[in-house]
């Protein structure tokens, strides 16, 4: 099968992979007439891939009969202390039959792309698109993980888009009626039958409210969350079996990645979060006359539907149309990058998926749409990111190393080889710190840092990968459509101007400020070296020879005092112990005193005499010869 045919097949398969179930867990609407049906695990050539039992055994590690028994027992179990929280399977209506059906789909699509006889980057991308939103998200995450996949696979997966066949218009109307609990025509005067866009997660239609506003309605595909939950459940089973045979911590935290993926799915499929993001971004954009985003209609937004202003503009993916409309591509690129720097580094709230389809030019403004994927950064993380980017822009190797070490915190399961880490950081600085800003490959630089952190078991916050993906996506937009925009130079200038505003007082006392800055950097440098040395020392990676010059006599005197105090405590202990023995009336006795007590008194007396003589001898002045 040629790649062109596989491309068409992946589009045809998308409906089956994402709409296999309705929202209530029942059967979905039938696929369009031109959609290719997913073949069975056993194809027409009577060449079975796996039997049902083998598939279940391979994924869950539980024989069919045994698993059925567990399910039956679980159904018969009654909570002794009242109702219990629904399990993951109960919450998303997951059944053994549904799992088997999804596994058949996965194996059939894998067979369709003939991956068992060789997997190419293009095949992998097309297969992930055909498998639906879960695997599209997995592929997007893998595109930033070149330590797992070869770089050519990562580059191809970065092109993943979640396009899918449109869901029927009647299904859209049914979903809206179910969400609002009333007839659709009481809210919308009209809804276009042809969608503006159809993705594996949702579909967007242009509409008009009964109150006259022109809006865009984003409707979630029925059953998409259940499909994602089914895929996550399968991945968890695979992860449990895989971790029995490989030390995943040495390669990748499979369980952690899967749970992070599920958290992301839950956020992206809750459209109330996207509505809140639109509100927050509009508030942020008030400070920038050239930025905007659609206004959400909060009262019409639900967990599965979001209604916002319709924006009719020109996508940045059409630079010729922008030039014809009188726009400056250089101005658009500069303002876009500068504002993205403000989102990430100043506001700490940023659009995490700035691909061309989400950036529209309308009425002289850059409009960001589809805020389902966003990120939020703490003040500390923003500060460190500023230092890293500024260090790269200024080609400052020590500053880059210091910023990275501030970012990195060792994991609980592994020791960090700090000498090796510093050595590898020096190599990265040599590779990237000496090139011009125009030639700096942000994707390669970020990938190198992430690889370095995993090589040395250094944990970076998960949000760092989100920031990196956003920057790489934006860099791709600039390279393809706005090639004259120097991304790093603009971000560096933004950081410098921001710092300049915050340090205006230094301009009034220029000389003092410069000297003070030098002293401050020297102090911070010394503290950084001290922190690094302390980390290495506590891990046994640094040995220190300490010599206190001129301190021999004080140490000798201190040692003598400790010895004398120790002897005094022994004497007191002997006197007290002997007295206790005396009053206990133990036998035999000497001079009316128990033998043990008598010996204790004698030893205590002799030691006391020795201590007194020693004190007298030490304090007697020496004769001068």
Write the CA distances from 548 to 20, 542, 545, 559, integer angstroms.
Answer: 76, 19, 10, 15
Alpha helices in 342-417 (DSSP H): 379-393, 397-407
β-pair partners for 409: 459
β-pair partners for 564: none
Residue pair 105/17 in contact (Cβ under 8 Å)? The answer is: yes
Strand (E) positions, 92-201?
188-191, 197-198
Residue 284's pLDDT is 94
Kindly report the number of other CB atoms within 10 A of residue 271's CB atom.
23
Residue pair 419/456 in contact (Cβ under 8 Å)? The answer is: no
Kindly report the number of other CB atoms within 10 A of residue 105's CB atom.
23
> Given the DSSP bridges, would you call strands 291-292 and 365-368 parallel, antiparallel or unpaired?
parallel
Residue labelled with tokens 């399990």: 87
Which region holds residue 206: left if phi is over 0, alpha if psi is between -120 and 50, else beta? beta
Which region holds residue 74: left if phi is over 0, alpha if psi is between -120 and 50, else beta? alpha
Closest CA to 458 of 389, 524, 408, 412: 408
DSSP 285: H
- CA atoms within a 13 Å half-sphere pointing along the CA-CB vector of 387: 17
Q: What is the pLDDT of residues 166-207, one digit of tens each?
A: 999 999 999 999 999 999 999 999 999 999 988 888 999 999
Closest CA to 327 of 291, 363, 358, 276: 363
Give domain limits for the chain: 3-157, 375-502, 553-619
Q: CB neighbours of 444 closer than 8 A, spacing ≥ 6?
A: 432
d(CA 517, CA 515): 5
Closest CA to 478 of 334, 593, 264, 274: 334
Terminal CA-to-CA distance of the chain, rounded, Å?
109
Residue 186's pLDDT is 96
| Residue stretches of the chain with pLDDT short of 50 | 1, 3, 11, 14-50, 52, 55, 60-81, 248-251, 410-414, 503-512, 549, 624-625
Residue 206's pLDDT is 97
d(CA 427, CA 98): 50
């Amino acid at each position: 099968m040629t790649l062109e045919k596989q491309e068409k097949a992946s589009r045809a398969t998308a409906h089956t992979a994402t709409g296999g179930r309705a929202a209530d867990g029942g059967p979905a609407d039938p696929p369009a007439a031109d959609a290719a049906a997913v073949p069975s695990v056993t194809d027409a050539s009577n060449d079975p891939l796996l039997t049902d039992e083998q598939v279940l055994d391979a994924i869950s590690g539980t024989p069919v009969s045994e698993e059925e028994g567990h399910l039956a027992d679980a159904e018969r179990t009654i909570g002794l202390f009242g109702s219990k929280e629904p399990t993951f399977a109960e919450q998303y209506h997951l059944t053994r039959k549904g799992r088997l059906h999804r596994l058949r789909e996965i194996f059939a699509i894998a067979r369709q792309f003939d991956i068992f006889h060789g997997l190419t980057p293009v095949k992998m991308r097309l297969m992930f698109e055909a498998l639906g939103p879960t695997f599209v998200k997995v592929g997007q995450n893998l595109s930033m993980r070149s330590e797992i996949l070869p770089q050519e696979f990562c580059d191809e997966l970065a092109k993943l888009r979640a396009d899918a066949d449109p869901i029927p218009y009647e299904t859209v109307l049914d979903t809206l009626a179910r969400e609002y609990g009333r007839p659709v025509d009481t809210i919308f005067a009209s809804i276009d039958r042809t969608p503006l866009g159809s993705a594996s997660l949702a579909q967007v239609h242009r509409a008009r409210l009964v109150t006259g506003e022109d809006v865009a309605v984003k409707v979630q595909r029925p059953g998409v969350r259940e499909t994602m939950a089914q895929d996550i459940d399968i991945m968890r089973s695979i992860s449990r079996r895989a971790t029995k045979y490989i030390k995943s911590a040495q390669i990748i935290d499979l369980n952690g990645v899967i749970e992070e993926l599920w958290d992301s799915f839950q956020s992206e499929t809750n459209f109330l979060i996207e509505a809140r993001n639109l509100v927050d971004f509009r508030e942020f954009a008030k400070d920038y006359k050239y930025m905007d985003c659609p206004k959400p209609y909060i009262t019409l937004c639900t967990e599965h539907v979001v209604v916002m202003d319709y924006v009719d503009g020109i996508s940045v993916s059409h630079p010729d149309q922008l030039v014809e409309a009188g726009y400056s591509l250089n101005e658009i690129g500069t303002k876009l990058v500068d504002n993205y720097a403000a989102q990430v580094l100043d506001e700490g709230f940023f659009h995490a998926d700035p691909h061309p389809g989400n950036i529209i030019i309308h009425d002289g403004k850059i409009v960001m749409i589809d805020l389902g994927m966003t990120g939020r950064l703490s003040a500390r993380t923003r500060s460190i990111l500023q230092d890293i980017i500024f260090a790269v822009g200024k080609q400052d190797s020590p500053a880059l190393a210091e910023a990275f070490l501030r970012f990195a915190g060792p994991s609980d399961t592994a020791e960090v080889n700090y000498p090796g880490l510093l050595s590898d950081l020096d190599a990265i600085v040599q590779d990237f710190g000496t090139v011009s800003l125009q030639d700096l490959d942000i994707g390669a630089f970020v990938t190198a840092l992430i690889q370095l952190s995993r090589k040395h078991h250094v944990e970076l916050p998960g949000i760092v990968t989100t920031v990196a993906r956003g920057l790489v996506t934006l860099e791709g937009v600039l390279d393809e459509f706005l090639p004259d925009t120097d991304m790093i130079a603009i971000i560096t200038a933004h950081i410098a101007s921001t710092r300049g505003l915050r340090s205006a007082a230094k301009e009034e006392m220029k000389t003092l400020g410069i000297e003070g800055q030098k002293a401050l950097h020297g102090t911070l440098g010394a503290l950084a070296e001290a922190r690094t040395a302390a980390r290495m020392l506590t891990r046994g990676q640094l040995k220190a020879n300490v010599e206190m010059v001129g301190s021999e006599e004080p140490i000798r005197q201190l040692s003598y005092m400790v010895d004398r105090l120790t002897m005094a405590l022994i004497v007191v202990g002997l006197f007290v112990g002997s007295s206790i023995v005396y009053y206990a009336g133990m036998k035999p006795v000497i001079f009316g005193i128990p033998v043990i007590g008598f010996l204790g008194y004698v030893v205590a007396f002799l030691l006391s005499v020795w201590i007194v003589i020693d004190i007298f001898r030490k304090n007697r002045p020496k004769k001068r010869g």
